[in-house]
Amino acid sequence: MIKAVGLGKTYGSTRAVNDLSFEVHPGSVTGFLGPNGSGKSTTMRLMLGLDRGDGATTYDGRTFAELDHPMRHVGALLEAKPFHPTRHARNHLRMLAAANRIADSRVDQVMEMVGLATVAKGKPKKFSLGMGQRLGIAAALLGDPDTLILDEPSNGLDPQGIQWLRSLLKHLAGEGRSVFVSSHLLQEMAVLADELVVIGRGKMLANGAVSDFISHSGLGTVEVRTPDGATLAPAIEALGATIVRDGDSLVVSGATAEQIGEAAHSVGARLHQLATRDATLEEAFLEATGLSEEFRGSTGDLA
């Protein structure tokens, strides 16, 4: 298990990460979300001891520096990929393997896993963004680690690549590993992650199950089809809910289907349909991070 306690980092006058504490549990994928510049990469570097800062991160009770052959415990993919300019992809991995006492045969295994076996002798500097990303993922998997920390691993991957990565990470978590992964692809995160850590301007905004994050956003609605709208609407509004009329339907925010059903019963209104619609992860994320967005674009006058 990963346990991060009180992580913090200041660059000049910028408090990039501020007192972040969270856990990443074995057997699950934990998504790490936050707007641009919110401190995700800095947090990951702190977790791996690559940046000096406040707090501590332990892996089953040991800090990264205390692990012998860390690649065999924690596999990491960070934004900057230090590939050797002239070394072949396979040799790059062989060198990492040797430094961590990992068998050479594992190199071919991971190249196969990430779909780079046919270009094993290619030079990473000639790789496309997606191929470079796959090589970085191969390096993270090299030590067959029980913990993975991946910063934007889907960057540059095509749709098939993203689907492949999703299956891979779910499979690895299913084997009991702890997977911590940042991404801006919220639809992807919605189907990949079990738990979330959501930050804004370096501070924790939400931490817990994806389903709780979405339901706590309060953005879900209930669609009510009724021939007795005039009778039912005041009873729903009396619950403190708001109603938007859509043809012969009432779209209700701020009340559950159960509450609406009870209200309908108490005023004798007939219900033809009562359908709940959950918020999307994107809607919940935008709601949670709206005020902590650091960089806000404008659609302006594009003409």
- Residue with smaller CB distance to ligand ATP, 12 or 240: 12
Of the candidate residues 28, 30, 42, 221, the single one contacting ligand ATP (CB under 6 A): 42
Q: How far is the CB of 208 from ligand ATP (least distance, A)?
A: 20
Binding mask 15-34 for ligand ATP (x = CB under 6 A): -x-----------------x
Integer CA distances (angstroms), 37 to 154, 209, 285, 293, in order: 18, 24, 15, 9
Helix (H, G, I), strand (E, B) or coil at 18: strand
Nearest-angstrom CA–CA distance, 64 and 74: 8
Nearest-angstrom CA–CA distance, 155 and 18: 26
**What is the edge-to-edge ordering of all strands in the sheet holding 147-151?**
74-77, 147-151, 178-182, 28-33, 195-200, 203-209
Told to check if 40 binds ligand ATP by CB under 6 A, we report yes
Of the candidate residues 37, 115, 254, 261, the single one contacting ligand ATP (CB under 6 A): 37
> What is the CA angle 233-234-235, rounded to 5?
90
**Look-up of token digits 């993919």:** 77
Told to check if 38 binds ligand ATP by CB under 6 A, we report yes
Contact residues for 260 (Cβ-Cβ < 8 A; gap 6+): 222, 224, 236, 239, 241, 252, 274
Of the candidate residues 11, 175, 258, 273, the single one contacting ligand ATP (CB under 6 A): 11
Of the candidate residues 41, 57, 133, 178, the single one contacting ligand ATP (CB under 6 A): 41
* Cβ pair 180, 190 in contact under 8 A: no
Told to check if 49 binds ligand ATP by CB under 6 A, we report no
Q: How far is the CB of 102 from ligand ATP (least distance, A)?
A: 29
Helix (H, G, I), strand (E, B) or coil at 259: helix
Q: Which of 37-45, 52-60, 125-133, 170-178 is the region at the interface with ligand ATP (rule: CB under 6 A)?
A: 37-45
Q: How far is the CB of 222 from ligand ATP (least distance, A)?
A: 34
- Residue with smaller CB distance to ligand ATP, 42 or 221: 42
Told to check if 14 binds ligand ATP by CB under 6 A, we report yes
- The residues of the shown chain that bind ligand ATP, judged by CB under 6 A, are 11, 14, 16, 34, 36-42
